[in-house]
Amino acid sequence: MTIPFYKYQGTGNDFIIINSFNSDNIQLDINQIKHVCNRNFGIGSDGLILIKKSIGHHFKMEFFNPDGSQSFCGNGARCAVHFAFSSGIISNNPCVFEAFDGVHEAFVCEDEVKVEISNIGSIISKKTESSEGTNDTTYFLETGSPHFASYVEEREGLDSILEYGKEIRYSNEYKNEGVNVNLIYVEASNRITMRTYERGVEDETLSCGTGATACALIHSAHCNSDENMIEIETKGGTLKVSFDKLSNGEFANVHLIGPAKQIFHGQIEI
């Protein structure tokens, strides 16, 4: 079977997009997903996205991690929305699309896409034993995907993300369900630098949209800041997260903002 595909990246987070909007015949099993996402034997990506029709919404985004598991992906969603507009599947702006965790609204402005992150949990903080380069308070927040986060005191501490990420990801608490692990370095009250170890990829990625969202909201709560937009520097580029901070400490109107770009398109034999 020969399948057309498109390759996208959003701040270095790269995705394979397959357009099955007008075809129900394109279905991939876990082994095929693993194959096309493999950087040595397939196309290579941080995830695979199927664009499908949705009942009641503009389109449906099915996202698969490289190991075949499913979740919501913030940067993947931004790329999917950009693809849907640029390919003529939809012309509405804003659009509303269906994803793994529910329904999201999105706006396109040239090469920048703003996606509503609609399923935000409550921030859970706890004291923990210090690891080298990290402080003793850690955070957990659901932003469509589960995220664990900790601060580092020095920028160089971010370089420990691979080792630290594996330690947390495969700890007794998270080894079964998995968790994304983030390290945060404070640049200012409205700006942070972060690094992410992603479950499903099982490696550091250049960027993570749901991770950037989680870290921005955690930073706002951690600093008790009045800012309503946080700028996040990732290895792959800059993202922004806007939000309303409620009196009870919760967040509303949370949006992930950043670039999305098509890299190339082609065909693959599966």
**Does residue 208 have an active-site annotation?**
yes
**Does residue 223 have an active-site annotation?**
no
Distance CA 28, CA 45 (A): 15
Q: What is the mean pLDDT of residues 172-186?
A: 96
Active-site pick, 37, 95, 208, 215 = 208
- pLDDT, residue 136, reads 77
Q: What percent of the chain has pLDDT over 90?
A: 86
pLDDT tens-digit readout, 214-249: 999 999 999 888 889 999 999 999 999 999 999 888
127: confidence class by pLDDT, cuts 50, 70, 90: confident
130: confidence class by pLDDT, cuts 50, 70, 90: low
- pLDDT, residue 5, reads 97
Active-site pick, 37, 73, 79, 215 = 73
CA distances from 188 to 53, 220, 232 (A): 42, 11, 11
**First-last CA distance in the chain:** 5
Given 3-state DSSP classes, what are the helix, strand and coil percentages for the chain, each rounded to the nearest 5? 20, 45, 35
pLDDT tens-digit readout, 202-221: 999 999 999 999 999 999 99
Distance CA 147, CA 229 (A): 19
Distance CA 4, CA 220 (A): 42
- pLDDT, residue 25, reads 72
What domains can you pick out in the chain, each with its CATH number? 2-111+260-269 (3.10.310.10), 124-257 (3.10.310.10)
47: confidence class by pLDDT, cuts 50, 70, 90: very high
